[in-house]
Structure 1
Amino acid sequence: MKITTPIRFLATLILGAVLLTGCARPAPETKSPAAPQVGVIDMDKAVKAHPKHQEWQKLKEQAATLNQQLTAEAGRAAGVTPQSAMNLPGSVESGLRAAAEQEFNAKMAAKQQELQTRLAGKANKLHSELSTELKTYAEQLEQEYQPQLFNLQLKLQTVRMDEKEAAAVKKALDDLKAEQTNKLTVREKELAQKLETALTPDKAASEQELAAYAKQLNSEISTKMAAQTANIADKGTGPLSSSSTAAGVSALEQQFTMKQQEISALEDTILNDIRDKAAKVAIERNLDVVFTGQRVNVSAVDITDAVITAVKK
């Protein structure tokens, strides 16, 4: 019997699990369309700084130990000699695992870059359109309010009034300006929400696409590695030695699976915490979108340290 176990690339899956988090900021200035305000977060650094990172590392070490034990038991079940069992996990299997992880990381990085570039392009286009819409609205308000403002200003400058009358005109002028500003502010918020709403489906779709790609890629690479390992193990010897060895393999497999589930649950906790804190920092810093990892050839604000500070509170 040959036992193969699925490969887990935890660090890369963590990076891939959170593609994007972003919150709408107030709409752009009316003077001219501006590029979206973009943030970037180093997820690897943020994960390592998380309070639960050490607990996650311990679980990984425990899983690695179980995996080694499972590999050894599987080798004995397959009739591999002690010497070949030492050679296979120690050199050949570790080499296969390193090559598989390198392939996974490279392909995931390329996919993430592709998705980030696509989303950044749509964000730029929408931001430009909404900026133009806001500018047009501001011009309409100016045409509507300017005659009234001009008349009140002219009255203050040319008409003789006592102090009480002048104060009343001044208040009317200030109220009119405030009314114009409030209308523009309301429209800014509406357009900011419109931008966020328009990007939300694309963000979700990108996250789902990346997660599906990670799952597919991990499965393909795991299958390929299992075949390579089995091929090498075939060069060992013989059939299953005893039912007790098979029972030991089964027990270790169950423990390993449970440990992986613990790791996965803790990963979700860490990532959700970082995602929430990154969203809050994005709001505080008026960022339209936050990318993980690379900056996708745009000017971006690094919010990693701010997020780390937030998760440690």
Structure 2
Amino acid sequence: MPMINLNDLFLFVQAVDGGSFSEAARRLGIPKSTISKRIAELEAELGARLIHRTSRSFSLSDVGRDFFNHARGALIEAEAAENIVRSRIAEPSGTVRLTASIPTTQFYLADCLPVLARKYPKINLEMHASDRFVDLVQEGFDLAVRSHFAPLPDSDLVRKQLMVEPIFVVASPGYISAYGKPNTPHDLDSHYGLLSAPGADNWHLVSDTGEKVTAKPIRRMMANESIALIKAATAGLGLTCLPSSICRDAIAQSELIHVLPNWSAGTVTTTLLMPHRRGQLPSVRATVEFLSEQLCK
């Protein structure tokens, strides 16, 4: 039985990704009729309807959906095979699709990515910042950078831990001048707190020697976004807990003070994840190595 033409797989995936033959034709710069004809011949060869299409609608059949997932995987593998050879003779090139949460993008990646782009001018970076759960495999991403407080759930993704950093208790000089500086974790119970979540009333602190104390500041404000917490803290509304890298600049500029420097309010871990086969691509490998160097400092 003859093998399916890889070009037909490519046209099929482009049509599905674009949502129509017209969009795929526009992206590829070829006639719409060519795409329609090749996919019709692909369906005839397979003996199955892959796409339900009318003048007003375009949708995958059940078997078409399964076929699409495997077809896209086959193209990725073909690209990987080609790039393994090309990596021996050329610098990393191609598109790298990267996703991260909005805070991780703002505080960890925003300064790194321009440097990466200058170092590897043939790599086309696509940065997608989103706080929703992103399925790397199903949505076609090469890499994800995730900052998390709890361990990540088990998965088939390759993971690389980039850093573990402490969470500081911070307050503005103005707040300290008005309300005094806490000298022990127990003092936090009589101070105003800026909380990161509705149920985060208790702050669990750990000393450099391993001692553990739970404090419950007086709730003044809640915000689940780091910049809002920094702004509220620098405005003198209360104390808050922030990862060290997020509040480092504000501390250096004397906008915030690191309160209880011998204590931390837990840790946050930053992990890089990727589908196994994507990590073989030179462009992805170069991006992983660069981010590891930058974020592991």
TM interval, shorter chain, is under 0.3
Structure with greater contact order relative to length (CA < 8 Å, sep ≥ 6): 1
Greater Cα radius of gyration, structure 1 or 2: 1
TM-score (normalised: structure 1): 0.20
TM-score (normalised: structure 2): 0.21
